Structure 1
């Protein structure tokens, strides 16, 4: 079996295929595994604390497939992830904090203790959540998040629903699919105990899965070819497929949607057209250094507006990184891509100065330095209402895996892993059905 692409979907597909007894050859065009969720390659002798990820990622307790895959390849999630109850908390200390425990009581308790909201606003949020729970978290697929929250108190929308929308879907609430967000809320906020917990990486992203999965695959007989871009797929009369010049009985295409469309266009043009038509939302990450600064929480929400772009910030010193270094995330960053990255960095610095103006000792604005800024232009597909995502089985003998394939979840690590595992399992079922 060939697996094309060694991001989290491709790694999940390859590991599951090996576990099911297949001989696997994994191809990756980059020189390291991990796709859009990896760390810079380590320099000789460089400590993990100094490795920079290609963007800030978080997981949640509902990511059961991802956590299971980490354990499968020998990574202990308790060692590499900091588990905390969900908290959408701002620098002034206000925000929603969920206590540990079963989902519904935790949500009720967290909302009721959100003292920055009036009693009427808290009741409004609880009524909104109860209504969608009673409706089974289902809505008209044409609606946006802004549509279904129009009757929420304005501050509830501004301080909670909009940040959750942009964090989960990387799409602003006035454009984002309400149904996809409701699905996320169902499985996270109202799922089994611990589902809404935030899992913050305290090791480089590559140490969470890609490095360990690569070692596991090599130890179990898989072949990995890095730094090679597959040029073509060619069907064979036997039903097998040629990957360039090598013949395989089945191919899992776990590359980006753009690469998958290129490879499949000669054989499945309608599928390729649908994949190529996906629109994308960027994410910009800004790394800052503020010597001596330490936030009260390792992750804080920020109030974004037209002049201040970041929605969340992370104190990397509390997450196994270098003390006094921070990463700020600008999700749904389309409107900022037309500006120089230096302007984005300056806007984030001003945003933090404003956020900490009541506590200047906590944020030494005069000593803040921008370390790096990265823009991932195709970070995720734009998760808009009625989006038609390409299917996972475009051709006999070819499956597709990736967070862009049809499914109920937005473009997340969990969606990628689930799709990879499912692709390998489908191959197993097809083989079993044909004897």
Structure 2
């Protein structure tokens, strides 16, 4: 029976592994780290188990939810599910009630708080215009250009469009792709009412899917190897040699981050151009600051945004992880915060939470995780590679590949869709 190698135990790689295992194809997953999940995994920070970043999911993430059920993780138990509510201080709140689509969105826009009559009208017209155009642009442009074209007021941009874009695409509005943003809005605001729900994970991101996926793969005759870094790929007879090992595989799905994938492919002449493209990929950072307060400290909702602030989105993990008083602050994309050192940035965030949200002036503990290459920069007209490569039997998987049916930003859903797509492409050839 043909054996398949999967490089990378993140969400894309494990999605591909599950899809193949479910079809009866034995797979071997090579993961360099000691923990599965890739850029969405559990980590130990100064003796505390947290996630290496705070990801928010939405009800439209159908492929991830489907695969979670396949591997035995019940989404109803794994998430705190709430209707869409975007609260951004000072004073903005957009909440969609539990009404059938599209009434939920209409009610949310009409009843949004913190907007002037002009701002409300401009927001409604921009979203309605995008919907009437099928959520498609004649030509992609940056979000900032699109907002100017749609005459969006500065205050509305600061309270709604800027926080939304940075949260969804992890790219500043001056650089971010409007078309990809509209793709996300189409599947959430433009979909069924449940599609716009916010899903707050109750599990760490390794337990949410990758670890259960590994158990599923092993139960179906596959293998998941941790601490197994692959530095090269070589052709061997009619198959592939992975790294320096003697094993041979019929095909390989490379689900590594773009720069790592490019390095692995360097020895394959037919992939020289692709390797150079992947290694030159532009990235955006994400910083997560964790602050532990007394157990009786909590926010009024699981997630709150802060406009014109270093701290962008504030998550109260007491709602989801049985860790009362633990606050996670997300600072997405490039910005002024990069000029501050670690201690200075944590102190600045601490002061902002005290001044803006009324939290205690000093946390009992604080820690920080900075991912310099957290996501690819989601810019207009990106030339994304497809699953297929010029090397027979070698496919790519990752949130950076061409989306099906449309491109997504660097999200867990995008990664899972890509992994499933690569697996199905391979199954069609076997």
User: TM over 0.5: same fold?
Assistant: yes
Quick check: 1:310 aligned with 2:311?
A: yes
In the other structure, the counterpart of 1:323 is: 324
TM-score, normalised on structure 2? Answer: 0.93
**Partner deviation per Cα, 1:274-302 (whole Å, 9 max, x = no partner):** 11121100000000122231111011111
Alignment of 1:53-92 (within 5 A): 53-91=51-89
**Partner deviation per Cα, 1:246-303 (whole Å, 9 max, x = no partner):** 2111100011111110111222011111111211000000001222311110111111
Quick check: 1:293 aligned with 2:297?
A: yes
In the other structure, the counterpart of 1:110 is: 108
In the other structure, the counterpart of 1:337 is: 338
Relative to structure 2, which stretch is displaced further, 338-347 or 81-90? Answer: 338-347
Q: In 1, are the aligned partners of 2:35 and 2:206 still within 8 Å (CA)?
A: no
Q: In 2, are the aligned partners of 1:282 and 1:334 still within 8 Å (CA)?
A: no
Q: In 2, are the aligned partners of 1:254 and 1:402 still within 8 Å (CA)?
A: yes
Q: Distance in 2 between matches of 1:12 and 1:371?
A: 34
In the other structure, the counterpart of 2:164 is: 164
Per-residue deviation, 1:214: 1.4
Q: Distance in 2 between matches of 1:228 and 1:345?
A: 34
Q: What is the SS of the residue equivalent to 2:113?
A: coil
Q: Distance in 2 between matches of 1:411 and 1:23?
A: 28
Alignment of 1:231-380 (within 5 A): 231-238=231-238, 240-244=239-243, 245-267=246-268, 268-291=271-294, 292-304=296-308, 308-356=309-357, 360=358, 363-365=359-361, 367-380=362-375
TM-score, normalised on structure 1? Answer: 0.92
Q: Distance in 2 between matches of 1:343 and 1:364?
A: 18
Per-residue deviation, 1:96: 0.8
Q: Distance in 1 between matches of 2:231 and 2:153?
A: 53
Structure 2 unmatched ranges of 5 or more: none
**Partner deviation per Cα, 1:178-233 (whole Å, 9 max, x = no partner):** 11101111111111231111100112112211221111111221112110111321
Structure 1 unmatched ranges of 5 or more: none
Per-residue deviation, 1:333: 3.4
Q: In 2, are the aligned partners of 1:284 and 1:330 still within 8 Å (CA)?
A: yes
Q: In 2, are the aligned partners of 1:11 and 1:213 still within 8 Å (CA)?
A: yes
Relative to structure 2, which stretch is displaced further, 270-279 or 227-236? Answer: 227-236
Quick check: 1:12 aligned with 2:15?
A: yes
Q: What is the SS of the residue equivalent to 1:346?
A: helix
1:41–1:246 distance in 2 versus 1, CA, 3 Å:
farther
Q: In 1, are the aligned partners of 2:166 and 2:173 still within 8 Å (CA)?
A: yes
Q: What is the SS of the residue equivalent to 1:380?
A: strand
Quick check: 1:389 aligned with 2:384?
A: yes
Q: Distance in 2 between matches of 1:92 and 1:203?
A: 30
Q: Distance in 2 between matches of 1:385 and 1:413?
A: 20
Quick check: 1:23 aligned with 2:26?
A: yes
In the other structure, the counterpart of 1:138 is: 136
Per-residue deviation, 1:39: 0.6
Q: CA RMSD in A?
A: 1.8
Relative to structure 2, which stretch is displaced further, 383-392 or 165-174? Answer: 383-392
Q: Distance in 2 between matches of 1:41 and 1:155?
A: 39
Per-residue deviation, 1:392: 1.6
Q: What is the SS of the residue equivalent to 1:261?
A: helix
Q: What is the SS of the residue equivalent to 1:75?
A: coil
Relative to structure 2, which stretch is displaced further, 416-425 or 266-275? Answer: 266-275
**Partner deviation per Cα, 1:28-80 (whole Å, 9 max, x = no partner):** 1111211110112699xx9xxx6211111111000000000111100001111
Q: In 2, are the aligned partners of 1:141 and 1:177 still within 8 Å (CA)?
A: no
